[in-house]
Structure 1
Amino acid sequence: MNKNNNILTHHEQLRLDYLQKNIHYLNDKESRELDYLLYKKELRERHGSPRQSLRSFIPTAYEDDFEEDYFEEDDEQEELLPRYPERRSRKTRQAKPQRFQSPRIEPKAKVPKPKKARKKGGFKRFISFVLLAIALVIVAMGYSFFKGMNSVSEKPVAEVFNGVDTSNGTNILILGTDGRVGESSGETRTDTIMVLNVNNTDNKVKLVSFMRDTLVDIEGYEYKLNTAYTLGEQDNQQGAEEVRKALKNNFDIDVKYYAMVDFATFATTIDTLFPEGVTIDAQFSTINGEVVSSVEVPNDLQLEENAPAYQTIQVGVQQMDGKTLLNYARYRSDDEGDFGRTRRQQEVLSAVMTQAKNPMKLFSGSEAIGKVVAMTPTTVPQSFMWLQGPGLLLDAANGIERVTIPENGDWIDDYDMYGGMALRVDFEKYQQRLAELGLR
């Protein structure tokens, strides 16, 4: 037991030790309590009896602060300090803190809380502002898009198309005809036959071009692939559906949607979305075995009044407007023939998709896109365009995998049922190739 126990009680001495050890951190009340205990100890040392009543010796300054708290009289003993709390478990101590706490703890616990609350509230307001801005942009784009759609008085009706889902992504058949003004759809053939695979697990856009002179079986007869569209149009305007069936029966590939591209509208859209043009590295094969630095390409669509019959396109990187881009994509008079044209069509479509990844281009051209959609026969739903379109552009930024069927030189020259030159290919080989690409 402490040697001072005959002067102060045990818990008084403990309290005195605590206050002396923390003398530099005491508040006013604790300082006065320390003075009181020292004074009490001195009195008891002077008068000798630990049970002697000290009320007559207590200074007035201490009576006011400690009399009620530190004097509890009973028949046997007058205690000078309250009992120390019993030892509690950790949970109890946390739930009910002790009476005397260090003055350092309170400001540390209270000061950070309002700062965190203000920071969190500011972050929430910032997120709300960003979401509101995005919503306004989407609304503005939607308004411009539908404004463009409504500006077209006569909208073409999509043909019957029995699309089939694929296991990996969505396959979209893109058709472009070589029709001229005044010709009916039954007189035209498809200048472009492509299948676009989007939203697949590889997060890449895949583009397969089928050469139009490929020999295929249609109801037991051998036709060129592009003839399928003409036969379908002559049979109650089911050209796109007939091409879909030809691809399925010969290459075992399923297609969900189709879109018929109008090249004149395509050129107008390019000029709207890309005022400075589309960057293209123009390349041509040899012509009559000679390397060329420029080519005179036909301007046979006559998009401008009194337009010249030919346009000169230089070899190399350049910016092309809509008309030049269209003429470049349709050229087939170099030594690669239709294979070269197919390659250039893939190049043009890839360039448009990758360079359109800037959202501002979509915003500035949303009205033009609305016009294009209104003038384009297609079964692609508008919900697909809005929900899947941004993801398609992001996938295009990862790269576009391009395949041509058949590959250059991988065919045998043959004739269709009309006696026209055609390309005979190994169907099993290309069925396997499409399966490896994930398009089946």
Structure 2
Amino acid sequence: MIIVFILVIGGGIFAANHFYSKVETTESLKPAEVGVIEELVQKEEESNIVNIAVLGIDRDGDGSNGRSDAIKVISLDMNNKKVKMTSFQRDTLIYIPEPENDFDKLNHAYWYGKAPLTLKTLNYNFDLDITRYVAFNFDAIEHIIDTIDGIELDVHENELKVTNDYIQHLNSLSDTDQDAPYLTKGGLQKLSGRQAMAYMRNRYVGDDFDRMNRQNKVMEAMIDKVMNQSYTELLGLLDACLPYVETNLTMNEMISFGTKVLTFDLKNIEQTQIPAADNKNRTVSYKGYSPLYVMNNYQDLVRDVHAFIYNDAEYQPSQTVIENEAAIYEKFGTVK
């Protein structure tokens, strides 16, 4: 979503003014406000890599801040003209810093303190330098997919029942929209926005890694479809969907990043998951929430992040990460 957003915004100052007025904007965040450690304050300038958190918020009609059930970092590598996407597992047991000051699952940081606390939590646990974000209500995905007349997805037979349960739930939340039909078969098929949303929300088939894969499949299908839209169609799409978006990117940043990213190969986005699907972990319950995944080695997660984003295979985690890992294992035990 942010790639399309930047692409069109980068088209010119007139477009930027028009679309920027439709987005909910918040104040810029300084590194100290979101817990960027001193050693990393100059990382963006030194590497020429810009990290932007992309948060998919699922409020589910309960009136709360919601939870960031999709947590991704888009890295714009200006020197190598690459876009990289790091997906973070929502149920990873981490430490949420001040004002929460407690262990919890990663996606609860948004619930407690919205985007600023989410950025602070990512920076604290993974030695990152994120000060920028784009957050969007999951309702935006449904709207986008319907606007582009659906997407093609390969749905497995064992995913049908739970997906249909979520379709029923989403239909029940709205008494004004036409109900989405249930899926009747597995295999490659065209899904509407609501059907795709139900597919993404499926948290009962497989584990959280499988859920992240479903999210990525939907986003990749959206990007493929959107990249084939005409410029006029893109303008109409953004005009309808940007009211669902919140960001602290300034208009000047959008223009600057957009004009550069227009020269990138956006059909070959490098991706990784943190932790990897084969990472050895165990689950615990805490504060009534389950499952929370205790990782085998938190320092290795940080090394993996830096190797992927910065191509820095020699990175050594900060003392904060080392002490945080020790505190997690002292409280919850190590992974056998």
Does TM, scored on the shorter chain, surpass 0.5?
yes
Among candidates 378, 381, 393, match of residue 247 of structure 2: 378
Query: Could you tell me whether the CA contact under 8 Å between 1:296 and 1:311 is conserved in 2?
Result: yes
| Equivalent in the alignment of 1:170 | 50
The within-5 A match list for 1:301-340 is 301-302=170-171, 305=176, 308=179, 311-312=182-183, 314-334=185-205, 336-340=206-210
| Equivalent in the alignment of 1:85 | none
What amino acid does structure 1 have at the position aligned with 2:26?
A
- Bigger drift between 319-328 and 343-352 goes to 319-328
Query: Could you tell me whether the CA contact under 8 Å between 2:157 and 2:186 is conserved in 1?
Result: no
Structure with max Cα Rg: 1
Is the strand fraction higher in 1 or 2? 2
| Equivalent in the alignment of 2:213 | 343
| Equivalent in the alignment of 2:91 | 213
Residues 160 and 393 of structure 1: is their aligned pair in 2 closer, same or farther, counting only changes over 3 Å? closer
* Offset from partner CA, 1:196-220 (integer Å, 9 cap, x none): 1124444332111111110001245
What amino acid does structure 2 have at the position aligned with 1:214?
T
Query: Could you tell me whether the CA contact under 8 Å between 2:133 and 2:249 is conserved in 1?
Result: yes
Residues 284 and 316 of structure 1: is their aligned pair in 2 closer, same or farther, counting only changes over 3 Å? closer
Query: Displacement of 1:306 after TM fit?
Result: 6.2
Alpha-carbon distance between aligned partners in 2 of 1:420 and 1:181, rounded to the nearest angstrom: 22
Among candidates 362, 365, 368, match of residue 234 of structure 2: 365
| Equivalent in the alignment of 2:107 | 226
Residues 255 and 270 of structure 1: is their aligned pair in 2 closer, same or farther, counting only changes over 3 Å? same
Q: SS of the residue aligned with 2:152?
A: strand
What amino acid does structure 2 have at the position aligned with 1:221?
D
| Equivalent in the alignment of 2:305 | 434
- The alignment covers a number of residue pairs equal to 281
Query: Could you tell me whether the CA contact under 8 Å between 2:59 and 2:137 is conserved in 1?
Result: no
Q: SS of the residue aligned with 1:171?
A: strand
Query: Could you tell me whether the CA contact under 8 Å between 1:172 and 1:258 is conserved in 2?
Result: yes
Alpha-carbon distance between aligned partners in 2 of 1:285 and 1:434, rounded to the nearest angstrom: 34
| Equivalent in the alignment of 1:196 | 74
Alpha-carbon distance between aligned partners in 2 of 1:195 and 1:172, rounded to the nearest angstrom: 6
| Equivalent in the alignment of 2:223 | 353
Percent of paired sites with the same residue:
24
| Equivalent in the alignment of 2:144 | 269
Cα RMSD after superposing both structures: 3.3
Alpha-carbon distance between aligned partners in 1 of 2:193 and 2:292, rounded to the nearest angstrom: 31
Q: SS of the residue aligned with 2:86?
A: strand
Among candidates 411, 414, 436, match of residue 284 of structure 2: 414
* Offset from partner CA, 1:88-137 (integer Å, 9 cap, x none): xxxxxxxxxxxxxxxxxxxxxxxxxxxxxxxxxxxxxxxxxxxxxxxxxx
Match status 1:298 vs 2:166:
yes
Match status 1:424 vs 2:294:
yes
* Larger RCO of the pair (alpha carbons < 8 Å, separation 6+): 2
Query: Displacement of 1:403 after TM fit?
Result: 1.5
Query: Could you tell me whether the CA contact under 8 Å between 2:274 and 2:305 is conserved in 1?
Result: no
Among candidates 53, 57, 60, match of residue 180 of structure 1: 60
What amino acid does structure 2 have at the position aligned with 1:243?
T
* Offset from partner CA, 1:5-64 (integer Å, 9 cap, x none): xxxxxxxxxxxxxxxxxxxxxxxxxxxxxxxxxxxxxxxxxxxxxxxxxxxxxxxxxxxx
Query: Displacement of 1:297 after TM fit?
Result: 4.7
Alpha-carbon distance between aligned partners in 2 of 1:305 and 1:241, rounded to the nearest angstrom: 34
The within-5 A match list for 1:12-161 is 142=14, 156-158=24-26, 161=29
What amino acid does structure 2 have at the position aligned with 1:192?
A
Residues 213 and 294 of structure 1: is their aligned pair in 2 closer, same or farther, counting only changes over 3 Å? closer
Query: Could you tell me whether the CA contact under 8 Å between 1:156 and 1:377 is conserved in 2?
Result: yes
Unaligned runs of 5+ in 2: 1-10, 32-40, 313-336
Query: Displacement of 1:183 after TM fit?
Result: 0.5
| Equivalent in the alignment of 2:319 | none
Q: SS of the residue aligned with 1:253?
A: coil
Query: Could you tell me whether the CA contact under 8 Å between 1:416 and 1:422 is conserved in 2?
Result: yes
Match status 1:279 vs 2:152:
yes
What amino acid does structure 2 have at the position aligned with 1:204?
K
What amino acid does structure 2 have at the position aligned with 1:315?
G
Query: Could you tell me whether the CA contact under 8 Å between 1:203 and 1:395 is conserved in 2?
Result: yes
Query: Could you tell me whether the CA contact under 8 Å between 1:356 and 1:362 is conserved in 2?
Result: no
Residues 295 and 339 of structure 1: is their aligned pair in 2 closer, same or farther, counting only changes over 3 Å? same
Q: SS of the residue aligned with 1:319?
A: strand
